[in-house]
Amino acid sequence: MACFEVNHEETEYGADTLTIRHSEGQDLPAGEVYIAGIAFHWPPERPRGFTYPWHKLDDVEAKAGIAGKSLRVQPALVDTVRVLWRPEDEFTLLEEVSVSDCDSAVACFEYIHEGADDALDRITVRHVSGRDLAAKDVLLTGIASEYPPDPEQGQPMTWHELSEFELTDGIAGHSIRVKLGFVNTVQVLWNHGTEQSVLDRFQL
């Protein structure tokens, strides 16, 4: 149908950038090509990311062809970005690229830190790759539900305590958004049996 080239520009701070280019094949209308897995609005309202038509992201007419054209997007809190074709009701996968650099044997997480001058900061943490862990076994430490936190580094709290998840619900692909107190590091912990491991650590 059509082929796309994807260039992933990684940055140490801030959001990475993907340049998606229609390289060959049928000149599809911009209104029929979709980019999935991108979070352009904040906080994400859908637990598994967003799907947007090309013409909404590129400010072109829906009927305009995209042959040879490029689109730049900034993926956030997703593991994979997909280019989809939807002429009617069904989606067809045209291209897929992984944007998560996960080398953990268990699970990987990403975060976005929202600062505020007149309110508590917030952090959104998302499971982006790896095992589908139970909400009762994943904890965030450095999170404060009250201000000021006591003690200052915050109390570890499980994913299900900070959300509407049940104890045994899997968290794969889901996000959680919480308030921050006097902390400069947030850790994602995993309880397995009698042991506890640090799965990820975010320096704020």
Q: Are 36 and 81 in contact (CB under 8 A)?
A: yes
Q: What domains lie within the chain, and their CATH numbers? A: 2-98 (2.60.40), 107-203 (2.60.40)
Q: Are 110 and 100 in contact (CB under 8 A)?
A: yes
pLDDT digits (tens, 9 = 90+) for 34-85: 999 876 755 554 445 678 999 999 989 999 999 999 999 988 778 789 999 9
Q: Are 138 and 190 in contact (CB under 8 A)?
A: yes
- Residue 25 predicted with pLDDT over 90: yes
Alpha-carbon gap, residue 49 to 79, rounded angstroms = 10
Look at 106 and 100; give whichever has higher pLDDT: 106
Continuous H helices in the chain: 54-58
Look at 106 and 184; give whichever has higher pLDDT: 106
What does pTM read for this prediction? 0.69
Query: Percentage of the chain with pLDDT > 70?
Result: 87
Quick one: tokens of 75? Answer: 């993926």
Range of 74-83, 116-125, 141-150, 186-195 with top mean pLDDT: 186-195
Q: Could you give the 3-state DSSP secondary structure of residue 186? A: strand
Mean pLDDT value across residues 147-153 = 53
Alpha-carbon gap, residue 78 to 111, rounded angstroms = 10
Residue 183 has a pLDDT of 79
Look at 200 and 12; give whichever has higher pLDDT: 200
- Residue 146 predicted with pLDDT over 70: no
Residue 144 has a pLDDT of 62
Match 């975010």 to its residue by tokens: 202
- Residue 104 predicted with pLDDT over 80: no
Residue 180 has a pLDDT of 82
Residue 148 has a pLDDT of 55
pLDDT digits (tens, 9 = 90+) for 107-132: 889 888 888 778 888 888 988 888 88
pLDDT digits (tens, 9 = 90+) for 78-101: 878 999 999 988 899 999 988 877
